[in-house]
Amino acid sequence: NAGVTQTPKFQVLKTGQSMTLQCAQDMNHEYMSWYRQDPGMGLRLIHYSVGAGITDQGEVPNGYNVSRSTTEDFPLRLLSAAPSQTSVYFCASSQAGVYFHEQYFGPGTRLTVT
Amino acid sequence: SQQGEEDPQALSIQEGENATMNCSYKTSINNLQWYRQNSGRGLVHLILIRSNEREKHSGRLRVTLDTSKKSSSLLITASRAADTASYFCARQGTYNTDKLIFGTGTRLQVFP
């Protein structure tokens, strides 16, 4: 199994540009999520999904959109990039359930917005 | 902020010493997890402890949970240089149970 994969690994955008960060998992996990990691801030939840067709907002959703058309994929879209979105983005997945299971993380996408 | 607080923010020790990291939170939890992150990499799950458990072990790792004090600690015994990493706690609250909220992390440096 490849686990959780993310593309691209690195990306530089100009302010106002849009792009999609890709995330895929091959473990048949129902739960998927996106986090951003900034220095000194730990990980902050952007959006999450408890299954195909179902998404919801996390702690810092503004400026980002998600969709979940399949169990495997959970792309994150930046609508109009801003320098404040410079960060490292992590996708994670896990089994679903009332109680959280172990989260599997992707390797991250390092995004710089100039 | 919903984030928990981890203490200390940074910790430097010699190989062979024990390392203790603490995590505090403000609201009731269903479970709490600990993760490790090596520099420039994704997070790796270490231990999950449920709200009705007080202690769990995994190899050289020992996690305790005190729900009355709303705190957890991670103890790494006989540290090795390879344990150098950042360590994060993450909790699932009893409200908004679909969200896993991470703390700010402890940076551990183990010198050989």
Asked if A45 and B97 come within 8 Å (Cβ–Cβ), the reply is no
Tell me if A100 and B31 make a contact (CB, 8 A cut-off): yes
Question: Best mutation site among A43, A54, A57 for testing chain B: the one with the most B CBs within 10 Å?
Answer: A43
Tell me how far the alpha carbon of residue A16 is from its chain's centroid.
20
Looking at CA atoms only, how far is residue A59 from chain B in angstroms? 8
Residue A98's pLDDT is 66
**Closest CA–CA distance from residue A68 to any residue of chain B (Å):** 16
Contact between A21 and A32 (Cβ < 8 Å):
no
pLDDT tens digits, A14-55 = 999 999 999 999 999 999 999 999 987 789 999 999 999 999
Residues A61-73: pLDDT tens digits?
999 999 999 999 9
Residue to substitute from B1, B98, B101, interface A, most A β-carbons within 10 A: B98
Q: Which residues of A, range 12-71, sit inside 8 Å of B by Cβ?
A: 31, 33, 35, 40-45, 48, 50, 56, 58-59
112 residues of chain B, pLDDT tens digit each? 455 688 999 999 999 999 999 999 998 888 999 999 999 889 999 999 999 999 999 999 999 999 999 999 999 999 999 999 999 999 988 777 788 889 999 999 999 9
Contacts of A39 (CB under 8 A, 6+ apart): none
Look at residue B3 in the predicted model and tell me its pLDDT: 56
For residue B29, what are the β-bridge partners? B93
The pLDDT mean for chain B works out to 92
Check A99 against B99: CB less than 8 A apart: no
Distance CA B27, CA B2 (A): 9
User: Cβ–Cβ of B48/A107 closer than 8 Å?
Assistant: no
pLDDT for the residue B1: 45
The answer to whether the beta carbons of residues B83 and B74 sit under 8 Å apart is no
Q: Tens of pLDDT along A73-83?
A: 999 999 999 99
